[in-house]
Structure 1
Amino acid sequence: MLFSGAGELFQNIYIFTWDVLLALVNVVTPNKKPGTVVPHGLPGAGGKWPKFVAPKKGDSRSCCPALNALANHGILSHDGRNIKFTEITDTVRTTFNFAPSFCRFVPSFMAQKLHKNYKTDACDLADISLHNAIEHDASLTRQDAKFDPDQGKPYLPLINDLLASATGKDEDGNLMLTTGDLSRYSSKRRTEARATNPDFTLDTFHKLFGSSNSSTLLTIFGGKVADLEPFLTEERIPEQWEPRVRSRMGLTFLAFNRTVLTVEKGIKEGTAPITEETALLS
């Protein structure tokens, strides 16, 4: 056990050192040009995504909209089963333009929590919804596991409320979520979840993990509500969409954490009213 813990520590040191180097490369190299973020010849290149097929009975889906979308488009196995952790790393990298350090760390963490080997083992998407591993209470797109143990389907009342909270607009007048919007909505969500869920838990790690999840809506998706609506409600990638992060080496932890910490810093638990919708969950 001691060796295993030491191994994980050195692996994390390696990944985060790697991440800093990738962030430096991003500083000194030009961004990818619009239309070229997804590499040529891969699904999504030039904004051309494989056909969306909604999950069928028996298909495995997770608490993660991004992974579910990859399965719904057949970029990962459509049934969501027996997917290697290394395949998740490679596919998330090329589809969403996260940095390779980022794409290595998260599936490695998944494998660790599932007591599996990152390099050799596989999982079903539903496995990722292990409570208080990746999945956590007060999600912005799912009811708490107390009320929905499956976690494989988006909860539309929450998502619609989230999108309706957007206050920003871009230069073309498109409605946008902002860091302030996500902080306010996360405050409301945590307050309501704590009040209605007798089994509610949310430690510091999962608070930051929750803010990380919500921050991808601002970074990879740029906060644009018109793009987020199909992605969150149907777990479908919009036609002609491409990642909004165009950094040469992708979105690094170092760059990403600026958004995460801004969102988390703005969350004020206990200041949001209980709505009629969520009160019904108690």
Structure 2
Amino acid sequence: MYAQIGILGLVFSSFVAAVPLSASAGLISAASSSAPAGHEWHRPGSGDSRAPCPMLNSMANHNWLPHDGKNIDLATIQSAFEAAMGFSTESFVGITQEALAVSTTGNSSTFNLQDLAHHDAIEHDGSLSRNDAFFGDDLHFNPVIWASTALRYGIRVPFSSPVITVETAAKARAARVKDAKRVNPAFNLTSQAGSIGETSVFLTAFWDESAGGVPKDFARVLFEEERIPYAEGFVKGNRTLADVVAMISKVGAVKV
């Protein structure tokens, strides 16, 4: 038993050492030849706005969203998700309206990516890669939080499946929520919808039907580098709001 605990601790420590101290640190050159022309990856600058969401940050880093992450309106979100990730234009209308409700731009039709760190609007306790607001920073990538998720996803675990299945993702999400409840005296997740939706959008965007899951390398570069995994083979699909809703049902149906 004690040997097993020691091995698990060593594996967990290796995860923390392997991931960057911040997602903006980047692990690749400023441009990737496999990205569409004009949408090569560039790290955010010191004055750029970023969200608690690695997918939105990745789209800004690839210039599908404004690279500075500021003054984003509904049409820009719709265009970016369609062009970068293959989502139909109706997919994120509701979420964008929630973002506009906490906007700090002074224009009710636009928001900055950092506005999404407003606690308990879109951002929620029990994030897969961010700490809870109670601990002072719900915006930036947290390598310890992500390490626990990555371990549960089986990333860098030898001889495990090359993909993240619905069951694996659902159980990792639920485990992260339990972790947060245990340590956060102000934990508040009145509805599981935001947490399940976060996982479901990620699964829908990168789902490989033939493999029965999301390639683990896609998850690794999305969360750790805030980069769209073009170099790893990602090709956008054709996704609709109905696809996201169907995935939400699948994730919610897993016994955790």
TM-score range, shorter chain: 0.7 to 0.9
In structure 2, relative to structure 1, the CA distance for the partners of 1:200 and 1:178 (3 Å cut) is same
Compute the TM-score of the two structures, normalised by the length of structure 1.
0.67
CA-CA distance at 1:137 after TM superposition: 0.3
Deviation at 1:61, TM superposition (A): 0.7
Supply the distance in 1 between the matched residues of 2:137 and 2:150 (Cα, whole angstroms). Answer: 24
Residues 116 and 122 in structure 2, CA contact (< 8 A), matched pair in contact too? yes
**1:27 aligned residue:** none
Is the aligned partner of 1:191 residue 2:178?
Answer: yes
- Structure 1 residues 101, 261: closer, same or farther in 2, change over 3 A? same
Residue 175 of structure 1 and its aligned partner are, at CA, apart by: 1.0
Spell out the pairing of 1:1-282 with structure 2 (5 A cutoff): 47-48=35-36, 50-114=39-103, 121-151=109-139, 153-166=140-153, 175-204=162-191, 207-222=192-207, 223-240=214-231, 241-243=233-235, 246-247=237-238, 251-266=239-254, 268=256
Structure 1, unaligned runs of 5 or more: 1-43, 269-282
Give the C-alpha shift of residue 164 in structure 1. Answer: 2.7
- State the alpha-carbon separation in 1 of the partners of residues 54 and 226 from structure 2: 6
Deviations 1:58-89 (A, max 9, x none): 22111111111111122222221222232122
TM-fit CA distance, 1:150: 4.9
Query: Unaligned stretches of 5+ in structure 2?
Result: 1-31, 208-213
Distance 1:148 1:86, change over 3 A: farther
List structure 1 runs of 4+ shifted beyond 6 angstroms: 115-118
In 1, distance between residues paired with 2:88 and 2:131? 30
- What is the alpha-carbon root mean square deviation over aligned residues? 2.8
Total equivalences in the alignment: 213
Q: Are residues 259 and 127 of structure 1, via their aligned partners in 2, closer, same or farther at CA, if it must alter by over 3 Å? A: same
Amino acid at match of 2:201: T
Shift in Å, 1:142: 0.8
Per the TM alignment, residue 267 of structure 1 is displaced from its structure 2 partner at its CA by 5.4
Aligned to 2:12: none
Q: Which amino acid aligns with 1:261?
A: S
Counterpart-to-counterpart distance in 2, 1:150 and 1:221: 24
Superposed CA offset, 1:242-280 (max 9, x none): 445x33xxx223222222122123253xxxxxxxxxxxx
